[in-house]
């Protein structure tokens, strides 16, 4: 089994569902349309600049039909990109708005810690209805020896102010049933592919979440297989189902199927978030079928349960979990993770008194400001990913940003007690005080105060929401599970070490 992705031309085919809308993201993320740029052909593309408090973050170059993406240098080109190199259609206004909405949320996450003096360029191409996906990629700079450096362009530009030599590329197919939310919600509604969240996912790839075989990319080197062997260039990728487990060769890297690949992403920040859990790291997507019967080593999606950055058919997050934000820190980004999560519990079977509060952050991002509501978009005071925990919340959680959540519980069989006099408030737009977003046999003992006083707010919500990919793809509830993909999930072989 060979990775069919050729050097330098990996475009992450995400089968992502998308939808979204234009939203002025929180704080002072500013979006402005700059001007029209003449390109090689036909109508001019349009530039949109996304800033964070005056700092340039992204320059979106939305190509019009017939315009070509910036040509790849020979070192990266295998000719296959020609299929994607020309925009096949103009993007609709709601697609552009969604790009800005997702880019603005990334600006909110990255902006405080970036050191770049010019925006990261992102070229966006519309593809026709035969493309039932969205996808994105970015590539490393080439050094004087014409060899790829070990980070993709956006990492170098955002963290070291080394301008990317190539733009990031985002491709938007027209073949999916997208819906276009205009504001952020912590749960998808499932009426179609959530466009905003899909584009947010694609930006995740463009920012460096992606494996490219034979490159000295830093992402690759955070990967470990089910034996604990770290990936490095030169190791042969071997499918678990063709491997004799009696062997213990160190020059191979074992990869199982899909979310059960046994491969995980491990780094200092991820370890910090996952401490005490059964997870060795963030599970990473493994062998996939390309839809044409060809298997390949995908290794470019995070497979925490139901993650929006996964390749699972059911996803009910619209935002990165804390561990996923931590992975970006491991890739080199400076992120104030605690502006978005007060605390996350990935462990199972624990008895915990959580004295961690959640408030706005100080200007330097080093501490909470006692009593002042947090305003981060989709900020979450406490996230419970694990199962069968007994958790007493003993400090205030003020998640006042758009789509903010006081406590989000996934997992199952968790018992949550909000202690007397404790405030759990999510009073921003679309806020949710306490949300049970998955599982069954959960329990809430609410002795404190729970509010969601903003427009669209819900103080207590026991609801999985919908599927990011649309409920027609797959739909779940505590005692509901149906969808056209369910039969495909009857794995005939799952190999584990
Ligand atoms: Zn993807």
Sheet containing 351-354, strands listed edge to edge, beginning at the edge strand earlier in sequence:
351-354, 390-393, 415-418, 443-446
Q: pLDDT value at position 245? A: 63
If you measure from the C-alpha of residue 106 to the centroid of ligand 1, how many angstroms do you get, rounded to a whole number? 16
**Cα 116 to Cα 55: distance, rounded to the nearest angstrom:** 8
Q: What is the DSSP string of 82-111?
A: GGGSB--BPPPHHHHHHHHHHHHHHHHHHG
34 alpha carbon – ligand 1 mean position (Å)? 29
- In the DSSP assignment, the letter for residue 348 is S
d(CA 488, CA 497): 23
Distance 461 CA to ligand 1 centre (A): 29
Chain centroid to CA 45: 27
Chunked into runs of 10 residues, the chain (497 residues) has average pLDDT values of 33 38 28 40 79 97 95 84 86 98 98 98 96 93 96 98 97 94 97 97 98 94 96 94 72 95 98 97 94 90 98 97 98 98 98 98 96 98 98 98 98 97 98 97 97 98 97 91 59 36
Alpha helices in 227-374 (DSSP H): 268-274, 322-331
Residue 66 CA to ligand 1 centre (angstroms)? 25
Centroid of ligand 1 to alpha carbon of 452 (angstroms): 32
Residue 243 to residues 144, 223, 280, 495: CA-CA distances in angstroms?
A: 40, 19, 22, 10
Separation of 366 CA from ligand 1 center, angstroms?
32
Distance 32 CA to ligand 1 centre (A): 27
In a domain, 275, yes or no: no
Q: How far is the CA of 116 from the centre of ligand 1 (A)?
A: 26
Q: Do β-strands 432-436 and 405-409 pair in parallel, antiparallel, or remain unpaired?
A: parallel
Ligand 1 midpoint to CA 70 (Å) = 22
Q: Calculate how far, in angstroms, residue 317's C-alpha sits from the geometric centre of ligand 1.
A: 14
Interatomic CA distance for residues 362 and 241, integer angstroms: 51
Let me know how long the chain is.
Answer: 497
Is 440 within a domain? yes
User: What is the CA(205)–ligand 1 centre distance, in A?
Assistant: 7
- In a domain? residue 93: yes
Supply the pLDDT for residue 441: 96
Asked, for residue 242, whether it belongs to a domain, the answer is no
Residue 434: domain span: 338-462
Domain boundary residue among 162, 186, 206?
206
Distance, CA 301 to ligand 1 centroid (Å)? 6
Q: Please tell me the distance between residue 12's alpha carbon and the centre of ligand 1 in angstroms.
A: 6
Counting Cβ atoms within 10 Å, is residue 198 exposed (0-12), middle (13-18) or buried (19+)?
buried
CA 201–ligand 1 middle distance (angstroms): 6
Cβ contacts of 237 within 8 Å, gap of 6 or more? 1, 3, 213, 252, 253, 255, 297
Distance from residue 266's CA to the centre of ligand 1 (Å): 19
Q: Hey, is 218 helix, strand or coil?
A: coil
Q: Are residues 196 and 342 in the same domain?
A: no
CA of 210 from ligand 1 middle (Å) equals 9
- 314 CA → ligand 1 middle, Å: 14
Query: Angle 490-280-436 (CA atoms, 0-180°, nearest 5)?
Result: 65
Q: What is the pLDDT at residue 247?
A: 60
- If you measure from the C-alpha of residue 173 to the centroid of ligand 1, how many angstroms do you get, rounded to a whole number? 13
DSSP 111-144: GGG---SSPEEEEEEE--TT--SEEEE--EEE-T
49 and 189 belong to one structural domain: yes
CA of 352 to the centre of ligand 1 (A): 35
Interval between CA 193 and ligand 1 midpoint (Å): 14
- In the reported structure, the alpha carbon of residue 419 is separated from the centroid of ligand 1 by a whole-number distance in angstroms of 40
CA dihedral 341, 346, 351, 357 (to 10 degrees): 0
Whether 437 is in a domain gets the answer: yes
CA of 400 to the centre of ligand 1 (A): 29
CA of 29 to the centre of ligand 1 (A): 25
Boundary residue ending a domain (175, 206, 237): 206
Give the C-alpha separation, 433 to 419, whole Å.
Answer: 14
Of 206, 238, 272, at which residue does a domain stop? Answer: 206
Q: How far is the CA of 383 from the centre of ligand 1 (A)?
A: 23
Distance 491 CA to ligand 1 centre (A): 22
Radius of gyration of the chain (CA): 22
User: Is residue 54 domain-shared with residue 196, that is, in the same domain?
Assistant: yes
Q: How many domains does the chain have?
A: 2
Measured CA angle at 356 (ends 350, 360), to 5 deg = 145
Q: From CA 268, how far away is CA 277, in angstroms rounded? A: 15
- 432 found inside a domain: yes
Q: Is residue 263 part of a domain?
A: no
The model's pTM is: 0.90
- State the Cα–Cα distance between residues 42 and 394, nearest whole angstrom: 61
In what helix (H) or strand (E) does residue 195 lie, and over which residues does it extend?
helix 195-206
Gap from CA of 135 to ligand 1 centroid (Å) = 7
Distance 318 CA to ligand 1 centre (A): 13
Compute the distance from residue 10 Cα to the ligand 1 centre, in Å: 12
CA–CA gap between residue 264 and residue 222 (Å, rounded): 8
Cα–ligand 1 centroid distance for 137 (angstroms): 10
Dist. CA 158 → ligand 1 center (Å): 21
Distances (CA, A) of 60 to 91, 168, 403: 12, 9, 25
- Distance from residue 125's CA to the centre of ligand 1 (Å): 16
**130 within some domain:** yes
Distance from the CA of 258 to the center of ligand 1, in angstroms?
13
Q: Are strands 45-52 and 29-37 parallel, antiparallel or unpaired?
A: antiparallel
Q: Give the distance (Å) from ligand 1 centre to CA of residue 449.
A: 39
């Amino acid at each position: 089994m060979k990775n069919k992705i050729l050097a330098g031309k990996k475009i992450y085919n995400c089968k992502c569902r998308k939808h979204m809308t234009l939203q002025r993201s929180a704080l002072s993320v500013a979006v402005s349309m700059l001007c029209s740029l003449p390109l090689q052909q036909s109508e001019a593309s349009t530039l949109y600049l996304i800033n964070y408090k005056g700092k340039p973050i992204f320059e979106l170059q939305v190509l019009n039909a017939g315009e070509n993406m910036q040509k790849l240098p020979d070192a990266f080109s295998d000719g296959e990109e020609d299929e994607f190199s020309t925009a096949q259609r103009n993007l609709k206004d709601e697609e552009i708005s969604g790009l800005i909405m997702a880019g603005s949320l990334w600006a909110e996450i990255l902006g405080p810690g970036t050191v770049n003096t010019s925006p990261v360029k992102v070229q966006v191409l519309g593809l026709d209805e035969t493309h039932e996906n969205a996808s994105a990629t970015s590539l490393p700079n080439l050094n004087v020896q014409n060899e790829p450096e070990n980070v993709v362009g956006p990492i170098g530009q955002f963290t070291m102010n080394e301008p990317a030599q190539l733009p990031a590329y985002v491709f938007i197919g027209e073949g999916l049933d997208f819906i276009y939310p205009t504001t952020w919600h912590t749960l998808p509604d499932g009426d179609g592919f959530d466009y905003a969240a899909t584009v947010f996912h694609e930006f995740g790839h463009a920012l460096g979440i992606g494996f490219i075989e034979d490159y000295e990319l830093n992402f690759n080197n955070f990967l470990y297989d089910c034996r604990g062997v770290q990936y490095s260039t030169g190791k042969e990728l071997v499918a678990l189902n063709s491997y004799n487990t009696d062997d213990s060769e160190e020059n191979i890297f074992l990869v199982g199927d899909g979310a059960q690949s046994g491969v995980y992403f491990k780094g200092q920040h991820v370890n910090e978030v996952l401490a005490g859990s059964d997870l060795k790291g963030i599970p990473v997507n493994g062998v996939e079928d390309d839809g044409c019967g060809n298997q390949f080593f995908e290794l470019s999606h995070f497979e925490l349960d139901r993650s929006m950055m996964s390749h699972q058919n059911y996803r009910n997050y619209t935002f990165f979990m804390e561990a996923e934000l931590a992975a970006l820190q491991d890739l080199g980004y400076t992120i104030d993770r605690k502006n978005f999560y007060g605390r996350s519990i990935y462990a199972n079977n624990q008895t915990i008194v959580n004295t961690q509060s959640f408030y706005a952050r100080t200007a330097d991002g080093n501490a909470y400001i006692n009593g002042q509501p947090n305003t981060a978009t989709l900020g979450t005071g406490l996230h419970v990913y694990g199962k069968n925990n007994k958790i007493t919340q003993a400090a205030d959680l003020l998640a006042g940003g758009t789509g903010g959540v006081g406590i989000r519980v996934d997992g199952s069989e968790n018992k949550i007690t909000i202690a007397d006099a404790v405030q759990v408030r999510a009073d921003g737009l679309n806020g949710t005080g306490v949300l049970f977003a998955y599982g069954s046999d959960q329990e809430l003992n609410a002795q404190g105060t729970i509010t969601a006083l903003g427009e669209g707010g819900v103080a207590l919500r026991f609801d999985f929401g919908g599927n990011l990919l649309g409920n027609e793809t797959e739909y779940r509830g505590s005692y509901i599970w149906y969808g056209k993909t369910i039969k495909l999930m009857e794995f005939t072989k799952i190999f584990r070490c």
